[in-house]
Structure 1
Amino acid sequence: MTKPSPLSDDDLKALTDAEMRAAVQHIGGKLSAERRKAMVYYLGLPEYDLTPPEIEGRSKVVSTDVRNTILSMMPQLMAKFVGGDQVVEFQASQPDDEDKAKSCTDYLNYLFFKKNNGHAICSTWFLDALLQKRGFLKIWWDTRAEEKREEYKGLTEIELAQIMDDPEVEAIEQTTYPDEEDAKHRQDALEAMGQQLQQAMQAAQPNPQAPQGNPKAMQAVQQLQAQIAHIQAQPPAMLYDVAFKRSLKAGKIAINNVPPEEFLISREAKSIETARFVGHRVPRTLSELRSMGYKNVDDIASDGDGDLNEERLTRDQQHTYIDDNSGDKSQRIVWVTECYIRCDYDGDGIAELRKVVRAGNQILDNEEVDCAPFVSICPVPLSHMFYGLSVADLAMESQRTKTNILRAQLDNMYLQVNGRYFAVEGQVNLDDLMYSRPGGVVRIKNPNAVGRLDQGHGDGGASTEMMAWMEENLEQSTGWTRYSQGNDSKALNQTATGVQIITGKGDMRVDLIARNFAEGFVDLFRMMLKLVSQHQDKKTQINVNGQWVDMDPREWRNQFDVNINVGLGIGSKDEQVQKLMGLAQQQANAMAIGVSNPKNVYELHVDMAELMGFKNAEKYFNDPEKNPPPPRPDPEAAKMQGQLQIEQMKLQAQNQSKQAELQANAQIEQVKAQYAAQEAEAKRNYEAQLEQARMQMQAEVDNNRQRAEAEQHTLKIQQEAQLAQLKLQNDDAAHQREMAFKWEVAQLEAATKIQVANIASKAKLDDAATQAATAEVSADVTQ
């Protein structure tokens, strides 16, 4: 059997090219199409099977069930993991590792939240998983050298020396100029000392009383002259304006979200740990590659396959082409694939995991590694498959159906408001018919020239029932109910216990998703622990609960045998606080029988304070181990002290008894005096009240008499007025009856006269008629 030969660079290029082409999500494929479709549904775009018919006037509305479901789940998932200061808690597997496990917990949670913006990382990570089947993170020890320009103005020599002592800085520009403020202070000091010198010289001059002069004044003159000379000899103070270049060379933990379209994995892989090939395809500038330490970056051939990724274009709607032929060659973008491939590179017959960095036709790096720096989460895993299902996959069918129902309802409404009409050509003004407005007039030449076409009318009730059914189907598919969202009005008619049971069952699906996500956090923090233990080579300090604590990961080297508990908890924080309160009551009973101690009570109250949102529980509770109780007193001394206290209490009781007796006697005498005074005062009040009542009764009798006389006088006046009024009314009525009688008589007389005149007139007519008839008869007889 021939021994395998080592792989050459050309063989490694061919092997990595083959693995990249065969990997899932290289350029496109079924998975890419499904994720693009999920993104379209999430954005509510009328594309793919949500595309409306190409008919003008038809509804283009899109239901947003996928987005609503995912955005409703996100707050609960974020609260479970990043709602507090700790995502995970390390537990030691050996008794001597308790302090190390606590230090690991504090330091790694600090790195995750403070140094890598853990909240934003988790938000993107969860959204990728819920929307696009899996979310990916990349964790590595970043050693890139970052150069930053720093400028300082007005530095003194000491401040400049302190900055220059930092090995990470290098001065690139410097300007020196005198310190005007120091020069002014020096001039003021010289003037003040000059005045003092003149005064001292005057005091030192000889006079008749002291021919030899004043020795002390002479000594002061000499000292002042020496000080002035010393100040004048000093060089002027200088200030410095300096520009530095700071090169940050220290490594750090780096955690970045990986877009799903940039992650590559073998098609047959079931996990990242066991995959034959894992890759990360990402655009980099030549400047970034040089800062990462790669040397052969100038001869990289152009590779623009990444720009053809349709999923990336769907995600970035404003993606524009970047011109690589700009004047700054350091900003030229190339696509770099970081491959983690299992191959027998050294020819020993055993495949090892190697990191091969490819860019165009170049191999930028080739080294053996112990693991691929990626972790992933999936909300709904499928057995024996790397890619499972997303929440978007569960909700897309409901969104598509509800979109069609909504469009049908709206189209039916549009047709009812603006229906279709027929018109006889030449008999109707089509401009009036086409321009639909309330109260508009359509000019026609024939009443039958225009009319509305028969068309179907949608059943709104059936559509609403179908929408409700699809809403229930969405809840059953995703497990996220209206009770979980807290926006079901029917819940007001339910009992609190019933709603809590329904909500709890609805949240179980979300808790299962959270449990799946928790496995990703376990892998993430285990990898973070591995990186800091291997690469961090110096001690650092972090603030834990208001105290600065030293952290030295070198003490944790090769200490990877710790268990990780992700802080999911049981129920919400409010429920956990209530359960801890109930446990505190049980703990009080347990203290009485000796199965609980002050340390247990302290730990319970610390956990309760943290759940309530108080970061530093030591402000409110003291650790009994740090503050032990005071020592117990000597039994004999305690006995003597107790006997002495008993005697003191007896004497005090006797004194109190005598004092109480005296106080009681004094109170009795005081009560008697008060009673006598009250009796005398009551008698005086009674007599005064009796006299006042007698006067009130007499006044009331007088008032009644006066009131009776006034009432009789008033009654008499009222009676006289009534009699006068009755007489007036009687006279008026008699006068009216007389006038009415006269009017009737006059009417009768007038009517009689008219009747008489009519009778006389009729008689005359009858007489004339009789004469004419007689004459006519006479004429007839004559003839």
Structure 2
Amino acid sequence: MAKMDDETLLALLMRQESSSADFVWGTLAHERRRAMREYFRRPYGNEEEGWSHTVTSEVQDTVEWILPDLLKMFLSNERAVEFEPTQAAEAEGAEQATDTCNYVFKKQNNGFLVLYTAFKDALTVKNGCIHWRKETKRAKSVIRLDGVSSPEILQMLMQQHGADTIERQQAVQGPLIDPESGLPVIDPATGQPVMQTLMNVRLSKVVERKTIKVEAFDPNYLRVQRNWTTPLLADCPYVARDMEVSLSDLHEMGFTDVTAEELAASQMPESTSDAGDQRHNRRGETNDTDPNNTQIASDDETLTEGWLRMEWVLVDYDGDGVAERRCIYRLKDLILSNEECDEVPIATGSPILVPHTFDGMSVAEMMSDLQKIKTDLTRAVLDNATLANNPRKTVLMDGDEPLADIDDLLDGRPGGLIRVKNQNALGGDATPFVGGQMFPLLEYIDTMGEKRTGVNKSQQGQDPNALRQDRTAAEAVMLNGAAAKRIELIGRILGEILVVPTFKGINHLLTEGDMEPIAYRLRGKFVECDPNDWRDGYEMTCNVGLGTGDEEKLVAVLGSVANLQMQLAPSPLGEMMVTPQQIYKTHAKLIQLGGIKNVDDYLTDPGNKPLPTKPPEPPPYQVTVEQMRLQAQQSSDQQKQALEAQQAQFEAQAKERDQQNQLSIQAANDARDAQREALEAQYKHELEVLRLQLQAYQIDADNRTSIINTRIAHPDTIPEGFDIDGQTGDIFEKPDPIAPVIDLLQGLVEHQQAPKTIVRDQHGNVAGVQHGNTFRPVARDQSGQIAGLQ
């Protein structure tokens, strides 16, 4: 077969587009439009002037109550999906792929917003759609260089950093640096550093980086072959997405040859105007186009907008007789690219699957008729209450003339005046209030909604039986568990047909071979993974919709499992039934269920290490001998410990006695020193007294001599050593008055120079101090300690 030309390919694409458009924009578009009107409580169109226009919110309430549970299933779990290796050598790669794909989805692409948008679309308009693709992002990186001395060095630095633009350059003065010493050069004449002109430069360069783009898009822009029978699109012959883009977006995608005129000529695809109407209905806006759109495009042609169609079609383009998957980008009838590919990078899913159909059912569709019925009943109750509170009035007529003023009757002001011509002119047509009979019917409508969706009053905190005294915890858990099964099933369906294909697509893009290593923070540690080391095609497991909503029950079960593991681990069956990795996973799951994501802060993963092996048990007789040996050893150890304790006690007592003796000796020495100092002071005092007495005696003698001299006319005739009696005048030999003093001084000196010795009694205790011929006993206090000398 010959290779297909572009005209034939374009004709094939047009036929597929038309066929899918009839399906997507027929009944499906009408149902989606009605669902969105009911979600936003738009009027049904049967309202009458003067009557209630209220619209109940069953669709909106049900969607908004289911949505938090769905998001919790996927986002509270650190690994909503996991890659599983098919070989032992792939274990590490599958582990890294799981963590990295979760990082790319949740962190780099705001996984919360992607899932929120896709799930809400699925709950309201039947299908949630996610598209993943690889993008090349261009970002400007700024490099600052200070103190560049020459243009040559600047050019070298620009080449080194890969910069291509000088954004700013500023000349500054700086010292000239000696290249050998690294110090400023000093001018010998001035002694100051030699200055030179330097440049502070800011450079910029454009950095291109490939990233994975994951986004949820409007399901109205998804086209699927009409007779396709499953929401899984991997094998669908024709899948397309219409995306509104600007000329700048196309240039970033690599289509730099596209002009603004070609993009503007693409216009909005046929039948997608309904999608535009639906988008406006979502926002509560009109269908008028933006008048500034053309003006913006005329001012800047890069902002010109148009519609790009991305198509993934099975076609035998190369003429080898086998249809291959091709990815085609085109603007209406202008094909921009046509490349062979190996996957459809779009996933779509409905919360309720209908076998053998592409589109399933939405929660809004399940609640649509109930909202319409409850709206009519609520309006009837409100209208009845209005008539009961504002009954109609009757007016008597006199021929053709009323007997009351009609203008006053039409004026409904409280306390208003009504002019009448006859006191019986006015009457009342009372309407009985029957709303009380309608309330059970409204409750029945709510019960029907609970049965259909699983969203009950206890989940909303509105169950009047929640505080019933005879209601048990088991009853409440059973009711909540039964109601949650519907929501868990919805989560399981969306996980398998929407989230799992998305993660497989992310892994496929990462392993194509042109991605740079990815660095990110995982469980408190920074890791770097190279996707080129992984394998595309790991098995995947979705960890939601398997009863994980009942966290309390799961915690109880895991607690029992953990206890069983700890009991088995030291037993003979431990090596066969329990591994450290299994024990770690059990406790890690318990920590995660408690709301803590970073398990590594509390537990360390043991990896594949086995349990510590136990030595083989000895024969029974060896056990007996070993027990006797252990008992003897234990008895010997006890005796040894008792002896050591007794020896330690004796040593402590001896040490205490030594300390007391040392204290006693020190006290005695202190007392002796104090006594010696006191005696020295006393001796000095006595010597001073004797000196003064001698001086006084000499003065008295001199005075007496003067008296005698005045009496005796001739003192020179008195021999030396004789004296004259002052009374008689007789001459007599007088004694030496200094001799006693000299004897006393000599005795004092001998006593002072005599050694001091401590005198002990027969028991060896200190009795006193012997100083020369003087003995002074010690004085003791009540405790027997030396207090001083007596």
SS in structure 2 of the partner of residue 127 of structure 1: helix
In structure 2, the partner of 1:503 is 480
In structure 2, the partner of 1:431 is 407
Of 120, 125, 145, which residue of structure 2 is paired with 1:127?
120
Kept in 2: contact 1:409–1:460 (CA 8 A)? yes
Identical amino acids, percent of aligned pairs? 27
Kept in 2: contact 1:521–1:566 (CA 8 A)? no
TM-score by length of 2: 0.70
Kept in 1: contact 2:408–2:417 (CA 8 A)? yes
Kept in 1: contact 2:83–2:541 (CA 8 A)? yes
Structure 1, 384-393 or 299-308: larger mean CA deviation:
299-308
SS in structure 2 of the partner of residue 650 of structure 1: helix
In structure 1, the partner of 2:721 is none
- Correspondence list, 1:89-128, <5 A: 89-128=82-121
Structure 1, 540-549 or 593-602: larger mean CA deviation:
593-602
Q: Are residues 1:257 and 2:233 paired?
A: no
- Correspondence list, 1:632-711, <5 A: 646-653=635-642
Supply the distance in 1 between the matched residues of 2:477 and 2:614 (Cα, whole angstroms): 51
CA offsets, 1:95-129, max 9 Å, x none?
A: 22111111111111111111111111111111011
Kept in 2: contact 1:168–1:249 (CA 8 A)? no
- Correspondence list, 1:115-264, <5 A: 115-143=108-136, 145-148=137-140, 155-157=146-148, 164=158, 169-178=163-172, 231-232=193-194, 235-240=196-201, 242=202, 244=204, 246-264=205-223
Supply the distance in 2 between the matched residues of 1:87 and 1:68 (Cα, whole angstroms): 26
Structure 1, 298-307 or 107-116: larger mean CA deviation:
298-307
CA offsets, 1:423-444, max 9 Å, x none?
A: 3435322232222233333111
Q: Kindly report the root-mean-square deviation, in angstroms, between the aligned alpha carbons of the 2 structures.
A: 3.7
In structure 1, the partner of 2:236 is 275
CA offsets, 1:252-283, max 9 Å, x none?
A: 11101110111111110123123221110111
Shift of 1:578: 2.4
In structure 1, the partner of 2:592 is 610
In structure 2, the partner of 1:761 is none
Amino acid at match of 2:424: N
Supply the distance in 2 between the matched residues of 1:472 and 1:643 (Cα, whole angstroms): 79
Kept in 2: contact 1:433–1:442 (CA 8 A)? yes
Q: If each structure's helix is expressed as a fraction of its own residues, which one has the higher value? A: 1
Amino acid at match of 2:453: T
Kept in 2: contact 1:25–1:263 (CA 8 A)? no
Where in structure 2 are there 5+ consecutive unaligned residues?
Answer: 179-183, 619-624, 650-790
Supply the distance in 2 between the matched residues of 1:160 and 1:133 (Cα, whole angstroms): 61
Shift of 1:643: 7.0
Amino acid at match of 1:255: V
Shift of 1:451: 2.2
Amino acid at match of 1:451: G
In structure 1, the partner of 2:434 is 459
Amino acid at match of 1:128: D
Kept in 1: contact 2:222–2:240 (CA 8 A)? yes
Supply the distance in 2 between the matched residues of 1:227 and 1:609 (Cα, whole angstroms): 76
SS in structure 2 of the partner of residue 489 of structure 1: coil
SS in structure 1 of the partner of residue 54 of structure 2: coil
Amino acid at match of 1:434: L
TM-score by length of 1: 0.71
Amino acid at match of 2:216: N
Kept in 1: contact 2:520–2:526 (CA 8 A)? yes
- Correspondence list, 1:227-376, <5 A: 231-232=193-194, 235-240=196-201, 242=202, 244=204, 246-271=205-230, 272-298=233-259, 299-300=261-262, 301-305=265-269, 306-307=272-273, 309=275, 310-318=277-285, 320-321=289-290, 322-323=293-294, 325-376=297-348
Of 12, 23, 32, which residue of structure 2 is paired with 1:15?
12
Supply the distance in 1 between the matched residues of 2:600 and 2:155 (Cα, whole angstroms): 42
In structure 1, the partner of 2:564 is 586
Shift of 1:172: 4.6
Shift of 1:152: 7.0
Shift of 1:151: 6.0
In structure 2, the partner of 1:553 is 531
Q: Are residues 1:62 and 2:55 paired?
A: yes
Kept in 2: contact 1:125–1:137 (CA 8 A)? yes
- Pick closer, same or farther for the CA change 1:618–1:284 going to 2, 3 Å: closer
Q: Are residues 1:562 and 2:574 paired?
A: no
Kept in 1: contact 2:488–2:547 (CA 8 A)? no
- Pick closer, same or farther for the CA change 1:371–1:162 going to 2, 3 Å: farther
In structure 2, the partner of 1:679 is none
Larger RCO: 1 or 2 (CA < 8 Å, sep 6+): 1
Structure 1, 505-514 or 587-596: larger mean CA deviation:
587-596
CA offsets, 1:337-384, max 9 Å, x none?
A: 111122222223322222222213311111121121101121100010
Shift of 1:89: 1.6
Supply the distance in 2 between the matched residues of 1:162 and 1:541 (Cα, whole angstroms): 30
Supply the distance in 2 between the matched residues of 1:315 and 1:169 (Cα, whole angstroms): 47
Kept in 2: contact 1:543–1:549 (CA 8 A)? yes
Shift of 1:522: 1.7
CA offsets, 1:489-522, max 9 Å, x none?
A: 2132221101111111111111111110111222
Amino acid at match of 2:495: A
Q: Are residues 1:41 and 2:34 paired?
A: no
CA offsets, 1:268-299, max 9 Å, x none?
A: 01231232211101111111111111144215
CA offsets, 1:138-197, max 9 Å, x none?
A: 011113x4354x667784549989994686753252222205xx57999xxxxxx9xxxx
Kept in 1: contact 2:83–2:538 (CA 8 A)? no
In structure 1, the partner of 2:668 is none
Supply the distance in 1 between the matched residues of 2:157 and 2:372 (Cα, whole angstroms): 64
Supply the distance in 2 between the matched residues of 1:166 and 1:641 (Cα, whole angstroms): 75
- Pick closer, same or farther for the CA change 1:497–1:631 going to 2, 3 Å: closer
SS in structure 2 of the partner of residue 19 of structure 1: helix
- Pick closer, same or farther for the CA change 1:248–1:19 going to 2, 3 Å: farther
In structure 2, the partner of 1:533 is 511
Supply the distance in 1 between the matched residues of 2:190 and 2:250 (Cα, whole angstroms): 62
Structure 1, 326-335 or 647-656: larger mean CA deviation:
647-656
Shift of 1:63: 0.3
Shift of 1:230: 8.9
Amino acid at match of 2:584: Y
- Correspondence list, 1:421-500, <5 A: 421-423=393-395, 424=397, 425-453=401-429, 456-493=431-468, 494-500=471-477
Shift of 1:569: 4.7
- Pick closer, same or farther for the CA change 1:350–1:623 going to 2, 3 Å: closer
Supply the distance in 2 between the matched residues of 1:362 and 1:175 (Cα, whole angstroms): 46
Shift of 1:67: 0.7
SS in structure 2 of the partner of residue 264 of structure 1: strand
Amino acid at match of 1:618: D
- Pick closer, same or farther for the CA change 1:147–1:565 going to 2, 3 Å: closer
Kept in 2: contact 1:168–1:247 (CA 8 A)? no
Shift of 1:15: 1.7
CA offsets, 1:555-582, max 9 Å, x none?
A: 114x414333434453333332222212
Kept in 2: contact 1:25–1:261 (CA 8 A)? no
In structure 1, the partner of 2:495 is 518
Q: If each structure's strand is expressed as a fraction of its own residues, which one has the higher value? A: 2
Structure 1, 87-96 or 425-434: larger mean CA deviation:
425-434
Of 383, 393, 396, which residue of structure 1 is paired with 2:355?
383
Where in structure 1 are there 5+ consecutive unaligned residues?
Answer: 187-192, 194-222, 661-783
In structure 2, the partner of 1:772 is none
CA offsets, 1:712-770, max 9 Å, x none?
A: xxxxxxxxxxxxxxxxxxxxxxxxxxxxxxxxxxxxxxxxxxxxxxxxxxxxxxxxxxx
